[in-house]
Amino acid sequence: MDWRKRTMTCKLCGGESGKYILCFKCNKLKEEGKAAKCADCGGWYYVDKGCTCQGTASPKIAPKSTPINGEGGCIVCGEKAPNGLLCRECYYEMRDFKDSFDKNAKSFDMKDYYFNLRSNIYRMKTFDYVKSNCNKLMAIANFVSELHHDASLTDRVATDIKDIIETKKPKKEETVKPSEQILEKDSHKEELLRTKDGHYVKSDPERQIDDIFYDLRIVHCYERKVPIDADEQAVKCDWFIPVQDDRHGIYVEYWGMNTKEYLQNKERKRKAYRENNLPLIEIEKDDYRDSQGLTDRLEQEINKLAKEYYRIERYLR
């Protein structure tokens, strides 16, 4: 046989796996937490059966009361997760995080990001934020596995998340001291991404969009409160571009996720902008990928809205 046509054998099922250690089917089982690499013998095994080496590091058949593959409970929020480690909502949030990562990122950079984020989560006090960042840990692990075929993070992420949730799960009537609130704010800032003009934003797409404003020399504010409310809830925009003054300008929203709660909030905010007749530019989830196309569109829409709402011709020259 020509050596160039040789294919590897899957270390789990024994089938053909091309140039990879696991075949497509078994790699999916690994991502779902149903297959793992044994820390004792280095072989691969099905989690529900346990490794044949019977070593101490690899779990044997999981007790029904504490399923490893997510049956009966999402490892992040505790909701039903019959098909894997995450429930439907957490899975979609994880997928959105994964889609936002730079596909050119190096494996070691993403690993550094993972371990820095994991450390920061232990300092966070808001449990909803803890859970969201646990989904981001899962996203990083899957991203590194899929892009670089490196399973070192996927082999440990479930254990890391379970430990975080167990440690950070709020106790009844737990109160947060002012000093702890300051610490949370600092750890939050460390986890965010820095833009060219010094803003700290929550995702790589937001960083790229903010940098477009900077490159176009557009004065802009990040996460500013909008002087309206929606269903008696405050509204905060992603960016505000002052046109006449710091109260009259153009609002920009980046719709970067597809979870049920996020989409409901999206419609609530859009309705509030319409009812209050405020100039709004909307950027959809994948628009940032075409940087030049988005740059051209932002220039056109900003000039159009500046003329329509404030009678200013050629706001951007």
Of 64, 79, 94, which residue constitutes the final position of a domain? 64
pLDDT in tens, 134-189: 999 999 999 999 988 888 899 999 999 999 999 998 876 454 555 445 444 444 44
Q: Above 70 in pLDDT, residue 292?
A: yes
Helices (H), 70-220: 88-100, 107-121, 127-148, 157-168, 178-191, 204-215
Higher-pLDDT residue of 35 and 263 is: 263
**Does residue 22 sit within a domain?**
yes
Of 20, 43, 64, which residue constitutes the final position of a domain? 64
**Does residue 114 sit within a domain?**
yes
Is the same domain home to 27 and 132?
no
User: Measuring CA to CA, which residue among 219, 242, 247, 209 is closest to residue 312?
Assistant: 242
- The answer to whether the pTM exceeds 0.85 is no
Number of domains making up the chain: 3
Domain containing residue 254: CATH number: 3.40.960.10
Q: Above 60 in pLDDT, residue 66?
A: no
pLDDT in tens, 180-215: 454 444 444 445 788 999 888 888 999 999 999 999
pLDDT in tens, 99-116: 888 888 888 889 888 998
Q: Which domain holds residue 288?
A: 200-310
Is the same domain home to 213 and 145?
no
Of 27, 46, 64, which residue constitutes the final position of a domain? 64
Counting residues of the chain whose pLDDT is more than 70, the rounded percentage is: 83
Is the same domain home to 185 and 210?
no
Number of alpha carbons in the 13 Å side-chain half-sphere of residue 118: 21
Window from 2-16, 62-76, 143-157, 238-252 with minimum mean pLDDT: 62-76
